[in-house]
Each structure stands twice: as C-alpha cells, then as structure tokens.
C-alpha cells in the first residue's frame, strides 16, 4: 500500500523493520562481548535518544548478555551549518555518573566526519574507564575527516542528507520511525 509521506520528505531510505533488525544485530554482538559484565550505555543527545532506548531494550532481551545495563547521556554541540560541522565540538551536558572503572559504550545515531565521536572518545577515555567502545547505528565512512574507531556499526548510511529516527533538520523530523531523504527544495541551496 502506498504510504503518504510528511511534507518535505522525498523518500524512505531505510524503513522501521530494517532499523530494528540492525539494532538487534548490534545487540547480539554487544551482548556477546559484554557477557557477565556491567555495561553503561552513554547516549549522545539528542539524535541518539531513540537508538539508545531501543538498543538498551534489545540488549536486555539477549540471554547471557551483560549482568546489568545502565543508561547515561551526554550532549555536545558542533559548530557549523546544517550540512557539515566544523570539527569544533563543545560539551553541553556531561554524564551524571562516574566513568572511572566502568565499561562504557558510547551510542550514536550517526558518524559523519567523525569529529564528535573523536572528541567523546578522547574525553571519556581520559577518565580511566574499564573499557571504552562505540556503537553507531548509521555510518558514513566515506565522509570521514578524522579516523576514529567504531566497534559496532548497524548500517552504512546512504550518501544523502537523512532525517528520522533521531536525526533532524532544524530540529524537525526526529520522530519519524524510519530514515528518510529530505526533498532537495527543503535544504538551502
Ligand atoms: C549529529 C550526530 C552526531 C554527530 C555526528 O549530532 O548525532 O553526534 O552529528 O557528526 P560528525 O561525525 O560529523 O561529528 P548533531 O550535531 O546534529 O546534534 P543532535 O544529535 O542534537 O541532532
């Protein structure tokens, strides 16, 4: 059946079942690696709020995974325009719990040029965590400006300006349950 798309949306690129399947695959790999350990998921606000929640629930459904899963959040902002961040990242809101001695998994919706994740890995890595890794639902490896490790990747993201499932354009479209392409006329020339 033909689905009516919201104004501004040209096309669904990755539908909700495909996103859910990617999260289940990530959860299976993470659960295996952290079996018997206490794990802290650090979601990066605001884009990663949906993937963090869904990944946490998927992880708790895997048998023989982490002994417990705790949630924390961090917020950063990067200077730049809607299309490209400048590489200058600023901490807006820190985690609420200590990182030292904990197994920390940074959860991101997307890695694009890599500056945000690079900043977060350096900052959290300085706090003596027991371990530090990153899980990213959508990767744009072809856009990397800085090399940064990503241990768990859900999907390679199409080379488009994408919105939905946490990703916004000027704070809109985050709540769409799928990943979509914006109509070009919505974006500045
Ligand atoms: C997005 C995304 C990552 C970052 C990735 O956040 O959630 O945190 O950009 O980009 P990079 O790899 O090029 O650094 P954004 O700055 O749009 O903030 P938001 O999550 O609040 O929408």
| Ligand 1 atom with minimal separation from the 89 CA | 14
Burial 39-73 (b: 16+ CB within 10 A, else e): bbbbbbeebbbbbbebbbebbeebeebbeebeebb
**What's the mean per-residue pLDDT of the chain?**
94
116 CA distance to ligand 1 middle (Å): 7
* Confidence label for 85 from pLDDT (cuts 50, 70 and 90): low
**Closest to 165 in 3D by CA, of 35, 4, 85, 48:** 48
- Phi/psi for 26 (5° steps) reads -60, -45
Q: What is the pLDDT, as a whole number, of residue 188?
A: 83
Average pLDDT, integer, range 49-74: 97
* Confidence label for 88 from pLDDT (cuts 50, 70 and 90): confident
pTM above threshold 0.85: yes
Question: What are the respective helix, strand and coil percentages of the chain, to the nearest 5?
Answer: 25, 35, 40
- Condensed to tens digits (0 to 9), the pLDDT of residues 31-46 reads 999 999 999 999 999 9
* Confidence label for 83 from pLDDT (cuts 50, 70 and 90): low
- For a pocket test of ligand 1, which of 52, 78, 171 has the largest count of ligand atoms closer than 8 A to its C-beta? 78
- Phi/psi for 145 (5° steps) reads -100, -20
Residue 68 annotated to the active site: no
* Residues lining ligand 1, Cβ inside 6 A: 44-48, 78, 85, 108-117, 168
109 CA distance to ligand 1 middle (Å): 8
167 and 174 in contact (C-beta within 8 Å)? yes
Place of tokens 């104004």: 7
């Amino acid at each position: 059946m033909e689905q009516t798309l919201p104004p501004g949306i040209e096309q669904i690129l990755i539908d909700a079942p495909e996103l859910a399947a990617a999260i289940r695959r990530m959860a299976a790999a993470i659960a295996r690696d952290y079996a018997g350990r206490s794990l802290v998921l650090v979601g990066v606000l605001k884009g990663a709020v949906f993937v963090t929640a869904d990944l946490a629930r998927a992880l708790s459904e895997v048998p023989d995974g982490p002994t417990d899963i705790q949630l924390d959040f961090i917020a950063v902002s990067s200077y730049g325009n809607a299309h490209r961040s400048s590489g200058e990242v600023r901490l807006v809101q820190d985690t609420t719990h200590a990182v030292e001695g904990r197994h920390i998994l940074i959860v991101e919706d997307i890695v694009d040029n890599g500056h945000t994740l690079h900043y977060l890995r350096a900052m959290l890595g300085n706090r003596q965590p027991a371990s530090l890794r990153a899980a990213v639902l959508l990767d744009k490896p072809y856009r990397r400006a800085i090399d940064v490790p990503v241990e768990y990747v859900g999907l390679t993201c199409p080379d488009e300006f994408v919105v939905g499932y946490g990703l916004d354009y000027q704070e809109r479209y985050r709540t769409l349950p799928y990943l979509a392409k914006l109509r070009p006329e919505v974006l500045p020339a």
